[in-house]
Structure 1
Amino acid sequence: MARPYEKIPEPADPASPVSRGVPKGNVCVVGISIESGSAEAMRGTLVDALRRHGLVQGEAVDGALRAVPRHLFVPGVPLARAYGHEAVVTYRDESGAALSSLSEPGLVAAMLEQLDVRPGHRVLEVGTGTGYNAALLSRLTGPQGHVTSVDILPGAVAVARRGLARAGYAHVETVVADGRLGHPDGAPYDRIIVTGGAWDLPAAWAEQLAPGGVLVVPLRLRGVTRSVAFTRRDGVWTGHGALSCGFVPLRGDDEVAEHQVVLGDPPVLRIRADEDRALDEAVLQRALDRSETLVWTGVRPPGGENHLDFGLAALPECCRVMPDLDAVRSGAFTAALYPWGSMGAATGDTFAYLARRGIGDTAEIGVSARGPASADLVARLADLVRAWDRTRHHVLRIDAHPRGAAPSDATWTVPKRRTTVAVHLDPPDPTPLPSRSALVPPARAPR
């Protein structure tokens, strides 16, 4: 059973019960600090910062972010937090896991740039959340366009409708429905945007996307997620760009959920993997009694958008490992690569994760492991880190083919229920990339 948003306290750190499950991503955290001022002034400061960091590029997205009052979608939240760089959880299940949130503004902006909405477009949003993103979409489509937003949670849709009304966007169509089925009554759509982590690409999205349309979706692959802008032709989804992100997984009977193992009492470490992975909590618990195996790779950590996590996701045992920050401070665990944790692997009775030491130019990636197979797992992850270092400037490309029909030149593939996802690491291309207008056809005439 879910409980609606009332007032969520400011999270103390990424491992806290409040922050646990809040979407995080490299593209999202831009170091925005907004202390005081009117809502309009804070909104301007926020957008200015997003432009400086390259997350807002066009005038259309810039104008929408400046026009739509973000704080009205999270009443009761302090303005500084509403216009800060972190997500605000708005809906949780009975265990406290996040089901819905107001996403980080950097991620919202970057995904809208990927979507490239034009005036007059018909847009389907899967995952209504607070309604803020639907309001932005409505601003982008203009009065000649139409936005339909669907969410499986009736309570979330009710909250979103109130927020949309407060902000002056009550005309946005909101529907309680399973977003994986789309909304055929409003199809075809020029753009479809998904604001939850999708394990696969449902057939309904392909059927309801107009010819030449764009689908932007956070696609989950072995514990890592990328927001990919897809176009579709001859049954193949072709990816155009991939942004690091993290989202609450989509819900539904046919969706693959995330599985979390919590180790220690009190908890000192968490491991998350897709639920098609079997993780035995009792067996992994015994790994905590083992001494740490730690190896330093001599490889510098990445900066900004990167594909290091995909280097590890080639392992079927890939997962996310999150040592508790207090346990790190006490010396019980080596610091993970990022404050929230890092990618790693779990093989039955052993777990490992990427670690970090040093700062700036002296920083170095390591691998920390515990369990009977520590030496082997550390060696495998260290080899993958060094292999990634040799391709750190390559470009990540993600396509989705009909199941069983992936190309032979893919770096690695992941079979899903309906598709086979092909991951490519392409060498840097010195030639200029085509403009977005070359990739995306102009808007259809409104119907």
Structure 2
Amino acid sequence: MGHTPTAADLRNRLVNAILHDVPLTAGVERAMRTVPREAFLPGISLEQAYADQAVSIKDNPLGGPLPLSCASVPSVVAMMLTQLQVRPGDRILEIGAGTGYNAALLAQLTGDHGHVTSIDIDPDAALHARTMLDRSGHQHVHVMQRDGLTGAPENAPYDRILAAVGLWDVPAAWWDQLREGGRLVLPLRWRGQTCSVALTRHRDTLISEGMELCGFVPVIGQDGEKTTTLNTGDTIRLVHDEDQTVDAAALGHSLADTSGIEALSEQRIGGEESFDGVWLRATATDDRVCRLHVLPDALTRQLLLRPALPVRSPALVDGSTLAYLTVHRENLDPKRPHRLGAAAYGPHAHKLAHDLITHIEAWGQNRTAVPRLTITPAPSPTTASQGHVISKPESRLTLAY
């Protein structure tokens, strides 16, 4: 008769699997092995609680594709906690209470002499987190129901701020709440993609010390990221920033009335190899970068050439011309059988496809490189030598390789 795995067995198995792919600090590993995730997810099985996947705890009342609140993917939680570099005794602010599990991990990391404040805009999420933290013996964690964009100044200043929701901009209110030398980790969205960025405060500048691709439920209250449909069936969409001009009618006309062209790069990838670095590399020099989202019906009807990833492919938009990343399987290199390319539609299709190929080749020169990101409050001065600037209402991002 086989042994039925206990919660501890499943917890250790999950952490072992995470360690295979994600380097963790000893403190984060210990916290992940200690805090029972199932205690924060009542009503689901132990197997579900210890699968490396997100668990929705409240659906979006507006019917959107993303839940209003969820328990994040455990490997992403572990990665972000490692980025945060919590020390014993730290004062911590968490934006997005979720289930309360993250706050329990943070309390474990900061110890008896630290302090954790966790806030959530949704009253049901805040109540759930408070209840689960009380039941699991974490009564000392401070949970508040409030808009995360305002922070929690009454418990500031903080040594660490962790956002467990996707941010499009860095709120001005957070600057006065983070200590000099303190660290902010947040899933930051720009040009249609999201990276978990670790930033250290140096007076009026946040300087990155690493970034990892991730995806998160967006924070409520920031609407600088837009979605524009390009066809009558709403099956071809562009996700872009508010400072980018997108002519939906002109692009829709190009897709419907012009033949797509395709160009191939010299870059090949393996079956499990990520090419998201192409996207990141392009955002550091090019303001035309956005995200293409194609629904299955558009592919079935062959309304356009197949993108690399239909739900999220990097794209360039220039007036009535659209170019986006493609992937083709070849048999020239068994280790890297897939070749990256660019499909394009519109009057300047060849030019825009070439521009995207240039970004692909630049990424291919150093595939693991990430840009240095500096963030300053807006408005703030800029100089031409700093790098590529993306201005947002409350902050200014500067990217440089």
**Alpha-carbon distance, 1:183 to partner:** 0.5
Q: Hey, what's the Cα distance between the residues in 2 that align with 1:369 and 1:79?
A: 47
Letter in 2 for 1:250: V
Residue pairs, 1:60-75, within 5 angstroms: 60-75=27-42
Q: Identify the range of structure 1 (221-230 vs 115-124) with the bigger mean alpha-carbon deviation.
A: 221-230
Matches within 5 A, 1:402-421: 402=377, 403-421=379-397
Cα distance between partner residues in 1 of 2:383 and 2:269:
31
1:307 aligns with 2:282: no
Is 2:75 aligned against 1:100? no
Number of paired residues?
387
Q: Percent identity of the aligned residues?
A: 37
Letter in 2 for 1:219: L
166 and 332 in structure 1: CA distance in 2 versus 1, 3 angstrom threshold: farther
Tell me, what secondary structure is at the counterpart of 1:158? helix
Cα pair distance change 1:52/1:187, threshold 3 Å: same
Partner of 1:120: 89
Given candidates 314, 327, 343, the residue that maps to 1:343 is 314
What does 1:190-205 align with in structure 2 at a 5 Å threshold?
Answer: 190-205=159-174
Report Cα offsets for 1:421-445 as digits up to 9, x if no partner: 11121xxxxxxxxxxxxxxxxxxxx
Cα gap change, 1:374 to 1:167, in 2 (>3 Å):
farther
Structure 1 CA distance for aligned equivalents of residues 163 and 365 of structure 2: 33
The root-mean-square deviation of aligned C-alpha atoms, in Å, is 2.7
Q: Per the alignment, in what secondary structure is the counterpart of residue 227 of structure 2?
A: strand
1:239 has 2:239 as partner = no
Q: 1:209 to 1:50 in 2, by over 3 A?
A: same
Residues 1:156 and 2:132 aligned together: no
SS in 2 for 1:114: helix
Tell me by how many angstroms 1:327 deviates: 5.0
Alignment of 1:134-283 (within 5 A): 134-252=103-221, 255-262=222-229, 268-283=235-250
Distance 1:362 1:372, change over 3 A: same
Kindly indicate whether the alpha-carbon contact (under 8 Å) linking 1:244 and 1:305 is maintained by their aligned counterparts in 2: no
* Deviation digits for residues 257-315 of structure 1 (CA, Å, limit 9, x no counterpart): 43223455765433212344454555544444243222111212483596321222233
5+ residue gaps in structure 1? 1-35, 426-447
Letter paired with 2:136: A
Deviations along 1:219-255, one digit per CA (max 9) or x if unpaired, are 2222222222212223111111111112222222xx3
Partner Cα separation in structure 1 for residue 205 and residue 61 of structure 2? 36
CA drift at 1:186: 0.5
For residue 161 of structure 2, give the secondary structure of its aligned residue in structure 1.
Answer: strand
Query: For residue 81 of structure 1, what is the aligned residue in structure 2?
Result: 48
The counterpart of 2:352, out of the listed 342, 356, 377, is 377
The 1:263/1:44 distance shift into structure 2, 3 A limit, reads farther
Task: Single out whichever of 352-361 and 62-71 deviates more from structure 2.
Answer: 352-361
How far is the alpha carbon of 1:365 from its aligned partner? 0.7
Q: Residue type matched to 2:326 in 1?
A: A
Contact (CA 8 Å) 2:191, 2:291: kept in 1 or not? no
Going from structure 1 to structure 2, the CA distance change for 1:131 and 1:320 (only over 3 Å counts) comes to same
1:389 has 2:364 as partner: yes
Scaled by the length of structure 2, the TM-score of the pair is 0.86
**Contact 1:312 1:344 (C-alpha < 8 Å) held by counterparts:** no
Give me the whole-angstrom Cα distance separating, in 2, the residues matched to 1:350 and 1:221: 21
Point out which structure has higher relative CO (alpha carbons under 8 A, 6+ apart).
1
Does the CA contact (< 8 Å) of 1:406 and 1:421 recur in 2? Answer: no
1:352 aligns with 2:323: yes
Alpha-carbon offset, residue 182 of structure 1? 1.2
**46 and 238 in structure 1: CA distance in 2 versus 1, 3 angstrom threshold:** same
1:130 pairs with one of 61, 83, 99: 99
**Distance in 1 (alpha carbons) for counterparts of 2:137 and 2:297:** 44
1:199-229 superposed Cα distances (whole Å, 9 cap, x missing partner): 2222322211123221112222222222222
Aligned amino acid, residue 368 of structure 1 = A
Equivalent residue of 2:239, what SS? strand
- d(CA) in 1 for partners of 2:309 and 2:243? 26
Deviation per CA, 1:36-70: give whole Å up to 9, x if none.
Answer: 843322211110011111x2422210111112222
Whole-Å separation in 2 of the counterparts to 1:316 and 1:179: 29
Q: Check 1:389–1:144 CA distance in 2 against 1; reply closer, same or farther (3 A cut).
A: same
**Aligned partners of 2:321 and 2:345 also within 8 Å:** yes
Cα distance in 2 between the residues matched to 1:411 and 1:108: 30
- C-alpha distance 281-248 of structure 1, shift in aligned 2 (>3 A): farther
Shift of residue 331, structure 1, vs aligned partner: 5.7
Q: Aligned pair in 2 of structure 1 residues 358, 215: CA closer, same or farther (>3 Å)?
A: same
